Amino acid sequence: MSFGPTFYFAGRILGFRSQGLPKGSTRPRRAWGRRYIRGAILGVAMSIVPLVVVLIVADGMIQGITARYIEVGTYHLQAQPQTVVDQQILKNAAIALRHEPVIHAFPEFQGYGVAVVGSKTAGVAVRAVDPAFLQDPGTKSYLKINAGEMRLDSTNQILLGMALAKDLHAKVGDTLSIITSRPSYSGATASFNPKISIFRVRGIVSAGYRELDARWAFVSINAGSKIFWAGSARALIGIKVEKPFGDLEKYRSLARSSLSTEWAVVTWPEAERNLYKSFSTTRALLLLVMALAVAVAAINVGSALVMLVLERRRDIAILKSAGASPGMIGRIFVVSGIFIGGIGALVGIGFGSWIAWKINEIIAMVEHLVNGTARFWASVSGSATSFPSIKLLDPAYYLEKIPVIFPFGELATVAGASLILCFFASLIPAVRASRLTPLEIFRKL
């Protein structure tokens, strides 16, 4: 039997086609079952809304934090020498990498020391970078200047992370000392002596993430070769490419072809494996919890269809008396279940996407509401205690703004999964309806 009659009678069963006024009633029979259908659709939609919001917001936050890390810290790829290299070798290798489709390659030394300003001290991760790195568009998108200038024109200038500068009570123009160590040999005996390098603070910068701002200090690569000895600093070439979230293997192959075999090239997912794995695991767990809610909603669809079977027994009896096969009756309720899942998925994905699109405005509104309520309560109660303002997205600790990225493929998967769950949930009521006999139904009416 064709599916045309199936869809037609599914519409009657769901109550979308009028069936006249029952005796003694002022409400059409089609309105009786709608409460079950509306409840099932609403259940599916409301279970999908948090799933979609978590999916979009989590993807945006992960990519936002990851982009911040790879633009100002890890780079898109890194070329790492397998032997100790000096500044000139590092610069020559970087020059060899600067061709399309590689956008830029920056030589860098990384080492550790102690920063001293007056009586304040703090451990510091010193990054001796090519000054061109600070002018790169990707770097400037995420590394913002808080005070002074983001420039390193001489070897005695230094840029401090905002949180580090706060801990040291350092300001632009202050003199700062970096204490590192250098080996000293006396015959076959080696010892390490402190080396003090004097810098003037040229600027205070922020990567928008406290973990980075609390430990970073930038000096020029020429200054780095003076304060570190070859064995105490990590040498690398930071590579930035056109599509950092695309296929990085072709860029890796190109970089390897431009360097000798003494260089290893790693991508940012490899360099930040622990961070990226942590984000992915957290995202997967959140989605699993939300998916369980969708599964519960699908069970509710099955319950709604069972109630619909009980309410539509008269229609089922008439259809079977007119020659409808058990298979057709079953298909009617399966189509009804898929219809409920489809409408619920569309409503849930649409509403969830809208919430995710407005998530930054919603967070700002919640902050304003909470802070306004706290101030109102303080004024009414006459409390002298000053309530600190709540900031959910504090740039000193986390993202300043959540990037909103719509993963259309994953949203389509959510819609497909909800349809499949509703399909399976509709099988039990469909089988139950197909096994009813007209004689049994008319006897109970």
- Our measurement of the distance from residue 252's CA atom to the centroid of its chain's CA atoms, rounded to an integer in Å, reads 25
**For residues 213 and 114, what is the distance between their CA atoms, to the nearest angstrom?**
15
Q: What is the mean pLDDT of residues 223-232?
A: 78
The mean per-residue pLDDT over the stretch 181-189 comes to 65
Confidence of residue 308 (pLDDT cuts 50, 70, 90): confident
The mean predicted confidence, pLDDT, of the chain is 80
Q: Which amino acid is at 122?
A: A
Categorize the per-residue pLDDT at 21 as very low, low, confident or very high, splitting at 50, 70 and 90: very low
Answer whether residue 46 shows pLDDT above 90: no
- Where residue 198 falls among pLDDT bands split at 50, 70, 90? very high
| pTM (two decimals) | 0.69
SS3 assignment for 97-140: HCCCCEEEEEEEEEEEEEEEECCEEEEEEEEEECHHHHCCHHHH
* Residue 397 CB contacts under 8 Å (≥ 6 apart), including other chains: 209, 210
| Over residues 409-419, mean pLDDT | 85
Residue 221 contacts by C-beta under 8 Å, 6 or more apart in sequence? 87, 90, 91, 107, 108, 109, 128, 129, 130, 131
**How far apart are the C-alpha atoms of 340 and 331, rounded to whole Å?**
14
Amino acid at 124: V
The Cα 427–Cα 418 span in angstroms is: 15
Q: Averaged over 20-43, what is the pLDDT? A: 61
Res. 402 pLDDT band, cuts 50 70 90? confident
Name the helix (H) or strand (E) containing 216.
strand 216-220
Poorest-confidence range of 123-137, 217-231, 265-279, 319-333?
319-333
Note the pLDDT of residue 126: 92
Average pLDDT over residues 179-189: 69
Q: Which two tokens stand for residue 178?
A: 């970096």
In this predicted structure, which of 11-20, 235-244, 282-291, 387-396 has the lowest mean pLDDT? 11-20
The Cα 368–Cα 436 span in angstroms is 59
Of 55, 222, 242, residue with least CA distance to 138: 242
Q: Which residue has the higher pLDDT, 415 or 394?
A: 415
Number of Cβ within 10 Å of residue 368's Cβ equals 12
What is the pLDDT, as a whole number, of residue 1? 44
Q: What is the mean pLDDT of residues 256-282?
A: 83
Cβ count near 284 (within 10 Å): 10
Over residues 324-353, the pLDDT tens digits come to: 777 887 887 888 888 888 888 899 999 999
Which of 23-37, 93-107, 135-149 is least confident? 23-37
Q: At what angle do helices 408-425 and 326-357 cross, to 10 degrees?
A: 150
State residue 217's pLDDT score.
92
Res. 183 pLDDT band, cuts 50 70 90: low
| Predicted confidence (pLDDT) per residue in 351-369, tens digit | 999 999 988 888 888 888 8
Angle, alpha carbons 208-201-138 (nearest 5°)? 35
**Nearest partner of 127 among 236, 224, 213, judged by Cα:** 224
Cα 365 to chain center, whole Å?
Answer: 21
